Amino acid sequence: MRYMADIDIRKLPEPISYRDKILLIGSCFTEHIGNALEASGFSVLQNPHGILFDPASVCKSLVSYIENRQYNEADLFQLNEVWTSWDHHSRFSHIDATEALKMVNASQNKAHHFLKDATWIIVTLGSSFSYRLTNFATSLSPGEGSGVANCHRAPAKWFNKHLMEIDEIVSLLDNCYHRLLQFNPKLNIIFTVSPVRHLRDGVVENNRSKARLIEAVHHMVNKFDRLYYFPAYELVIDVLRDYRFYDIDLAHPNYMATEFVLEKFSASCIDEPSQSLMQELKKITIAKNHKAFQPATQAHKQFLLDHLEKVKALQAKYPFLDLSKELNYFSQW
């Protein structure tokens, strides 16, 4: 008896390997994939603007990395004693405008140089809803009608909520795609739609929002080469389709669900040699996270020494890996 619907996930024609550099951008679900890749030793850069949800914010951010846009104080606004950028997540906010700009521009510069050499971008879109400044916020840059990536808990009257049309999303993605390929012809792009349910928008509205993202992304994938779709949304909504796979808020997929999606991602998007290496590195990570009750014992020192030799062997075999943290940790004996 079958208890799950199957999804035929095609393997990438040239899957991701450890020699690739991967930029991840988009919703919070992006970071589940990014954290897993980073923990496995891949060269990744995650969300240089912080978490982003709508296509307009994602595309604007990617173009800013291409241009290596440097922000100035006129691009910030002050709310509740904190200086903030409408284009960035609140992790870039600071009570000192100079410090906020320093964080923003350092991230911009890092993203520009990383994107220049990247071979993959993983874009996770979360919502078709975008927020635009009203005349109540006209004294704040960038002015009325401008889209924002994050509302920063500002008063609701400062924003108009806009459900983007499919053609509007396609136009943004199309333009961004061509800008990216002009900047770095080696790029490949994987699109995903976040399975996180935006229940604050309403169940019906959330489904409308996700449907527009899915349609726009498939339009792009069917139109251009080197664009791919990974069905993270469908794996949670249509394969798992049970609230036991959600967190207590009934909106975010839980650990079991994200691990299920990551297994499918590895099988379809990462080449087999890299999958084997991921398993070896996973054993090293488990050993590194092991908490010794008696770290001064000879047995623990031998444990560290044995794993130090294993890490050295991996580093010699795969010189492109950065295992400096592991080498330092297992050298403490």
Q: Which of 118, 124, 108 is nearest to 32 (CA)?
A: 124
Residue 2: predicted pLDDT: 73
Residue 289: predicted pLDDT: 86
Residue 294: predicted pLDDT: 87
Measure the CA dihedral 56/33/215/145, to 10°: -10
Contacts of 301 (CB under 8 A, 6+ apart): 333
Residue 332: predicted pLDDT: 81
Residue 311: predicted pLDDT: 92
Q: Which of 18, 43, 216, 221 is nearest to 115 (CA)?
A: 43
CA 289 to centroid of chain Cα atoms: 24
Residue 142: predicted pLDDT: 62
Domain boundaries, given as residue ranges, for the chain = 21-271, 290-333
Contacts of 238 (CB under 8 A, 6+ apart): 5, 7
Residue 99: predicted pLDDT: 97
Token couple for 274 = 């890299």
Q: Report the number of secondary-structure helices (H) and strands (E) in the chain.
A: 10, 10
- b/e per residue 178-217 (b: at least 16 CB within 10 A): eebeebbeebbbbbbbbbbbbeebeeebbeebbebbbebb
Residue 144: predicted pLDDT: 54
Residue 39: predicted pLDDT: 86
Residue 140: predicted pLDDT: 63
Residue 292: predicted pLDDT: 83
Assigned CATH class of 21-271: alpha beta
Quick: pLDDT tens for 242-297: 999 999 999 999 999 999 999 999 999 999 999 999 999 888 988 888 888 888 89
The pair phi, psi for residue 163, each rounded to 5°, is: -90, 110
Residues of the chain with confidence (pLDDT) below 50: none
